[in-house]
Structure 1
């Protein structure tokens, strides 16, 4: 593992055990352990390990003083009509303000006013709601109702605008303003109500989720979703491949551009650098950050995301986030969050047994026969390659599991409340607590249960630490270079575990492409996929940009296999050496390779495989007719025009070229990349 803290722990523990003359015995015990809970117990049973990991609170606290300072700065920017800077300052005030302080509602009101001036009416309404939620003074509430009415008016929400203006008049009873001002306000509100009569139509969706992200709508699956795998199109199914592993296979011919997977992850973890720009729960980029109630270290896009994050994981992370995000690799943190998301009760039901090696298509399905992406058991059944790992690798990952288990202990994950639903007799039967064996006290029962549960959970952490490097995916965002779109790049926001997506095996010439919408992953066909062919993703080793030896080395070291895809077997050239002058056509009979003769104006050619004579004029004329429009679309996409017309042109050319020509071919490569560029700008996308 690439973690300085874990490496330091391994070195320190090794030194201590060597000094005490215990190292050789530890190595022997650890090496003969056959399950992950046993490996974890070898470390957990060492007092020397516990002395190395001391957990204490380490988080970004709230501060009313700093919140007030930021709000004052926001007021200065607002008076100077620097509204975006004012909004940013008010956001800092909101993040830092204690949840029970009066400064929080005032900061929400300030940011709401600023967003109104910025004409961001949806965001303005969200902050008004938050100001009410945090007890904005009754004497000033008429201002909020008036602002709601004005937002609704500009958003063509006729009935809601009228209702808000009427509520403004009602609220004047509590307003601390002079009678003449009340009379003027009532008159103004009646005029505003009359003006609402001119509103024609309305915007359908004014919810915060419609405004507080940086992507277009999440695509729907092509066709229906599978009843047994809701995240997967019904044109795809799970099968065992020729190596005995699972894969996703086409049930029918699949066209380029079809949406095959739309999957929300089991859980995800933001990179630390994104803690204040993206939602901690759904990974959407934020226009309007909402704070944690307890710390000032994370933000959310909505109350629902904040509540879900607290319920699933942030309750345990909040007071130690600076330690666990600073000190360990992102995938170990993801492993930890998987445990919190699953909960102790479910983890207790999933206990590893010796010789657990067989893999079946239905692994990870629940009792109802459904493969749910939000079911921890689906992720638990993904491959982890424990048999291929060295002693040192296993020890490092076990110590990472130990580090996080100590933080689970600190958070109260193993409290008596969490153990209430665990059957003590069943859990400790192997230590003589039930049946005819010697009876022990309830305290001894509880200690035995605790030890067993901790080792079981530690085993889960260790298993996840081995599984995630082979199965986790990044959540990405397209950093758009507005001045030179061709120089745009993709940046990583977070790590996530997708149980369905993880079933797709690798090719250096993949047939699907992934894009992130928040942390929802959408996989589309980027090549035509014939019935019974396997879908192929890319594990960071694309043939146009990485040579064969580097690809093989990367895949072997991280994923433990030697790639046998067509690009590797045939050693396809990298991008600048890919042919673009003489295409190799597809045989209409056997799909073999038909090379174009060097004769002048040839009309036929013979297939290299089946030797049958082929008409080659039809495909070449077809490509020639499409070329001008394709070239124009390619050029304008490179310049930043990813319109629907260009997308359609590229898709039509790509489908036709793929059906008539063999890869590698530069026009196919170029059209694929341009097509992906269009999709990039529909998914998470933000100006660099």
Structure 2
């Protein structure tokens, strides 16, 4: 995994931001710190003023899968090399798996295919054996969830041992790599019993430690990983998420083309009036940008959904309860709550008893 580089950013000039995007694989603004809220859990805050337009975070996915219809012909299919993740249009020439596992796996070049051999070897037999049966019996969503888990395990399997040199001071460091994945929120207590039972059935059938998938984890560890992934994964869309207020006329964020888990980006909590937007770049890195000035001590929040899709309080809260298992209490939601009228019994006329 790449080393996180901390850079002092004086002003968010366009040239400086462009330099950061082009020169850094992962990047964390030096004024970004981790804290813990008794209700929300882990969160990220600004230790000092972060001006509007500043690049706040660049995070490379630890695991990513394509999410497209008809992958064999879809121009939005991404390269399977996790160091690349670029779109692989049909006309540019794709390189398929020599074992013909699934059409969703393709590389943009022979160099990417060769560089990705060790990681893909880990998942290839599993994909060839289980992809079609899972899709036919359980559907695309459950297949995608299981494949993300397999790719998390594949990345863990091929992750190099951390070097003791170039250690970032503890006061500045946010956990990266597998250590970051282990730190993600989510457990069996987070989800309804019926959901956990359904996942357990899937894991016993498809994700057991075996020669097909030699991950070395216990069933409970894999189940815990599923609970973490489902609470923290990102959908990747071509346009920004979290522009507030939405532009008029409204422009949505487009069609999802991938799903990924990010070790650091997953720490950002939700607000229906976020102070950061997020958008993947052409390499699959998630880019957080301050959408307004973020003052010292303020939490740095994103929107978990497309703000052009859920506009009123009821629909926003229902979507968040259904998809993310919490009731939003952000400033916008609490300000839009109806005022409860208290009955003033002293003003009622006396009644004959």
Structure 1 pair 275–409 and aligned structure 2 pair: CA distance change class (3 A): farther
Residue 234 of structure 1 aligns with which residue?
30
SS at match of 2:148: helix
Residue 507 of structure 1 contacts residue 537 of structure 1 at CA under 8 Å; is this kept in 2?
yes
- Partner residue in 1 for 2:212: 411
Could you say if the C-alpha distance between residues 254 and 233 of structure 1 is closer, same or farther in structure 2, counting changes exceeding 3 Å?
same
Select 1:338's aligned residue among 135, 152, 156.
152
Partner of 1:257: 53
CA drift of 1:378 comes to: 1.1
Question: Aligned equivalents of 1:379 and 1:342: distance in 2?
Answer: 10
Distance 1:539 1:412 in 2: 32
How far residue 232 of structure 1 moved from its aligned partner, in angstroms, is 1.2
1:640-686 alpha-carbon deviations (Å, 9 max, x no partner): xxxxxxxxxxxxxxxxxxxxxxxxxxxxxxxxxxxxxxxxxxxxxxx
**1:498 match:** 262
Query: Aligned partners of 1:220 and 1:267: how far apart in 2?
Result: 25
Alpha carbons 1:543, 1:572 under 8 Å: kept: no
Q: Which residue of 273, 285, 303 corresponds with 2:87?
A: 285
The equivalent of 1:516 in structure 2 is 280
CA distance in 1, matches of 2:330, 2:158: 41
Distance, in Å, in 1 between the alignment partners of 2:80 and 2:158 is: 22
Name the structure 2 match of 1:528.
293
Is the CA contact (8 Å cut-off) linking 1:275 and 1:299 kept in structure 2? no
Tell me by how many angstroms 1:558 deviates: 3.0
**CA distance in structure 2 between the aligned counterparts of 1:264 and 1:382, rounded to whole angstroms:** 15
User: Is 1:316 aligned with 2:123?
Assistant: yes
Contact 1:339–1:461 (CA under 8 A) maintained in structure 2: no
Q: 2:207 is paired with a residue of what secondary structure? A: helix
Within 5 Å, give how 1:611-630 maps onto structure 2.
none
Match of 2:195 in 1: 393
- Report the Cα distance in structure 2 between the residues aligned to 1:393 and 1:260, rounded to whole angstroms: 35
Q: Relative to structure 1, is the Cα distance of residues 567 and 306 closer, same or farther in structure 2, using a 3 angstrom cutoff?
A: same
Conserved in 1, the CA contact under 8 Å of 2:233 and 2:262?
yes
Kept after mapping to 1: 8 A contact 2:274/2:303? yes
8 Å contact from structure 1 (residues 231, 500) kept in 2: no
2:343 match: none
Q: CA deviation at 1:490?
A: 1.0
Residue in structure 2 matching 1:557, options 313, 322, 334: 322
- Length-normalised TM-score, structure 2: 0.70
CA distance in 1, matches of 2:31, 2:159: 35
Aligned partners of 1:487, 1:564: CA distance in 2, in Å?
Answer: 26
Query: What aligned pairs does 1:147-162 form with structure 2 within 5 A after superposition?
Result: none
Q: Which residue of 2 aligns with 1:79?
A: none
Tell me if the contact between 2:34 and 2:174 (Cα under 8 Å) persists in the aligned partners.
no
In the TM superposition, what is the alpha-carbon distance from 1:546 to its structure 2 partner?
Answer: 2.4
Of the three residues 538, 541, 562, the one matched with 2:303 is 538
| CA deviation after TM superposition for structure 1 residue 303, in Å | 3.3
Cα distance in structure 2, aligned partners of 1:367 and 1:324: 42
CA contact (8 A) 2:253 2:306 kept: no
Decide whether aligned partners of structure 1 residues 403 and 533 sit closer, same or farther in structure 2, where only a CA change above 3 A counts. same
C-alpha distance in 1 between matches for 2:253 and 2:122 = 35
CA contact (8 A) 2:250 2:308 kept: no
Structure 2 alignment gaps of length 5 or more: 1-16, 161-166, 241-248, 339-353
Between the aligned partners of 1:303 and 1:540, the Cα distance in structure 2 is: 36
| Structure-2 residue corresponding to 1:461 | 222
| Greater RCO (CA < 8 Å, at least 6 residues apart) | 2
Q: Which residue in the other structure is 1:381 paired with?
A: 183
Alignment partners' CA distance in 1, 2:168 and 2:200: 31
Identify the residue that residue 7 of structure 2 maps to in structure 1: none
Provide the rounded CA distance (Å) in 2 between the counterparts of 1:526 and 1:550.
24
| 8 Å contact kept, 1:313–1:341 | no
Tell me which residue corresponds to 2:65.
269
Contact 1:270 1:495 in 2 (8 A): yes
Correspondences of 1:96-115 after superposition (within 5 Å): none
Give the conservation status (yes or no) of the 8 Å contact 1:511–1:527: yes
> How many residues end up aligned between the 2 structures?
286
Q: Tell me the residue number matched to 2:345.
A: none
Distance (Å, rounded) in 2 between the aligned partners of 1:532 and 1:258: 17
| More deviation, 463-472/290-299 | 290-299
Contact 2:45/2:298, CA 8 A, preserved across alignment = yes
Q: Distance in 2 between matches of 1:459 and 1:220?
A: 43
Q: What do residues 466-522 of structure 1 show as CA deviations (whole Å, max 9, x unaligned)?
A: 12222100122259xxxxx98675111111001111111110011111111231111
Say what the alpha-carbon RMSD is for the aligned residues: 3.5
Work out whether residues 237 and 253 of structure 2, in 8 Å CA contact, stay in contact via their aligned partners in 1: no
Structure 1 position 471 matched with structure 2 position 232: yes
Task: Report the CA distance shift for 1:313/1:372 in structure 2 as closer, same or farther (over 3 A).
Answer: farther
Runs of at least 5 residues in structure 1 that lack an aligned partner in the other structure? 1-217, 347-365, 415-452, 480-484, 574-688
Q: Residues 569, 250 of structure 1: CA spacing in aligned structure 2 closer, same or farther, 3 A cutoff?
A: same
Aligned pairs (5 A) from 1:33-432: 219-221=18-20, 231-241=27-37, 243=39, 245-273=41-69, 275-276=71-72, 277=75, 278=77, 279-281=79-81, 282-286=84-88, 287-295=92-100, 297=103, 298-317=105-124, 319-320=128-129, 321-324=131-134, 327=138, 328-343=142-157, 370-373=173-176, 375-406=177-208, 409-411=210-212, 413=214
Does the aligned pair in 1 maintain the 2:123–2:151 contact within 8 Å?
Answer: no
Name the CA shift for 1:388/1:503 in 2 (closer, same or farther; >3 Å): closer
Residues 336, 404 of structure 1: 8 Å contact kept: no
CA contact (8 A) 2:68 2:256 kept: no
Q: CA deviation at 1:544?
A: 8.1
